[in-house]
Amino acid sequence: MKNKHSILILWMAFAPIAITAQTFATPRPAASDTSAARAPRPAFRFPPRVISPQVNADGTVTFRFSAPNATRVELAGQFLDKNLSLAKDEKGLWSVTTGKVKPDIYPYNFVVDGTAVADPNNVDIFPNERFKASLVDVRGKTPATHDLQDVPHGKVTYAFYHSRQLGLERPLLVYTPPGYTDDAARNYPVLYLIHGMTDTHETWYKVGRVNYILDNLIAAGKAEPMIVVMPYANPYPALMKKDPSTKMDLMGTRLFTDELLLEIIPYVESRYRAKTGRDNRAIAGFSLGGRQALGAGLSRTEEFAYVCPMAPAVFPQGIDKDFADVYASPEKLRTLKLLWIGCGKDDGLYEGSKALAGKLDAERVKHETFYSTGGHTWMNCRLFLATVAPKLFTITR
């Protein structure tokens, strides 16, 4: 009996807990699932394809931009004297057709309610730190030197090197000529090619078409096979991201000269089959890159035999100071195999190029000048490169 009473007492003590636990453990009726009643999500659809730019058979070009809510869209381009207004259709597609355009590659952009934007339907973009433009390639009846042609092609590779003096990983592009991988015993001279202010290491490749120009000239027997190195010559965006207090000195050339001599050239000559010595090195550059090419090439004539500024950022009032403070003596400048200056006659830097040539004349330093039509454009850059490349690494004096 005692055991029966003990069992009853234990059951009475724990039964509420068991009932409560069972109550909480029992699933509640599921709430009604309303997802089945919802309308299915529509499948993602790409917007209608917009073809822009469209180069027409008669040499005109049609540009299109989809912006149903915009009130005004204009076209700006270096092939135009002034912006063109686009017309809007009932679907919100804006378009305009230009007059006949001279064959070349041109930067352009849209201006949408006052804001400049690249063409979202064009994958050919102008690499630049500031403005965002697209490119339109208007071909002529006969291929241009910068056109892709049926010839042996070199290779452009993206590379990175560690800069000890900057404390940064820095990018550069390297063009190796056709046949580079076929003959492991052959070494090549090197052209160090510098971009303009706010451009990047990609601009000579994507806008200047350096690989096509060299491919075509080499195939025609007009240029020596060479390696071309395109560094990112402006470290300030990366330096200022690392330390916002960094001060810019864009007109100074010492920082780039040190970077070139201490970091870039050793990197290239240790990883590519590059010939060494001044006779196998050339340096060229556009705009600020032209100023940097002069700063490095004319201050270190023992490192470079070919110096080729293109519309360099030099100014008449600063020429004497550059010769006094930056460049080597006239005696050393006379040892260069080629000092070549190119500039457009409508370029804002034309007077500076003429002043530089005048100073070289006064100092009896042999040089060549090439003054084209047009202004401070990449259309001229391609012309300059195609003109001077055949002169590199061929002079024996």
- Give the pLDDT confidence of 191-205 residue by residue, as tens digits: 999 999 999 999 999
**Do residues 76 and 111 lie in contact, with contact meaning Cβ atoms separated by under 8 Å?**
yes
pLDDT in tens, 15-30: 443 334 343 344 454 5
Per-domain boundaries in the chain = 54-138, 155-391
- Alpha-carbon distance 171 to 375, whole Å? 29
Residue 88 pairs with which residues in a beta bridge?
Answer: 94
Q: Tokens for 382? A: 């391609």
Orientation angle between helical segments 378-388 and 210-219, nearest 10 degrees: 30
Is the preceding peptide bond at 53 cis, omega within 30 degrees of 0? yes
pLDDT at 20: 40
54-138 belongs to which CATH class?
mainly beta
User: 155-391 has which fold?
Assistant: Rossmann fold (3.40.50)
Instruction: Give the rounded distance of the alpha carbon of 204 from its chain centre.
Output: 6
**106 pLDDT exceeds 70?**
yes
pLDDT at 40: 72
| DSSP assigned state of 188 | B
Average pLDDT over residues 362-383: 98
pLDDT at 268: 98
Cα angle 280-284-290, degrees, rounded to a multiple of 5: 150
pLDDT in tens, 118-127: 999 999 999 9
User: Of 216, 246, 214, 244, whose CA–CA distance to 228 is shortest?
Assistant: 214
pLDDT band at 385 (very low <50, low <70, confident <90, very high): very high
Q: Tokens for 86? A: 């686009």
pTM of the predicted model as reported, rounded to 2 decimal places: 0.87
pLDDT at 45: 74
Q: Residue 393 region, left (φ>0) first, then alpha (ψ -120 to 50), else beta?
A: left
* Least confident range of 31-35, 151-155, 275-279, 359-363: 31-35
What whole-number percentage of the chain has pLDDT above 70?
Answer: 89
- Alpha-carbon distance 143 to 296, whole Å? 35
Residue 155 pairs with which residues in a beta bridge?
Answer: 176
User: Of 222, 226, 171, 168, whose CA–CA distance to 195 is shortest?
Assistant: 171
pLDDT in tens, 47-83: 788 999 999 999 999 999 999 999 999 999 999 999 9
**151 pLDDT exceeds 60?**
yes
pLDDT in tens, 1-11: 444 444 333 34
Mean pLDDT taken over the chain: 91
Element (H, E) at 25: helix 2-25
- Alpha-carbon distance 341 to 355, whole Å? 11
pLDDT at 46: 76
**224 pLDDT exceeds 80?**
yes
pLDDT at 164: 96
**Do residues 120 and 83 lie in contact, with contact meaning Cβ atoms separated by under 8 Å?**
no
What residues contact 288, with CB distance under 8 A and at least 6 apart? 196, 197, 233, 234, 250, 313
Q: Tokens for 3? A: 């055991």
**33 pLDDT exceeds 70?**
no
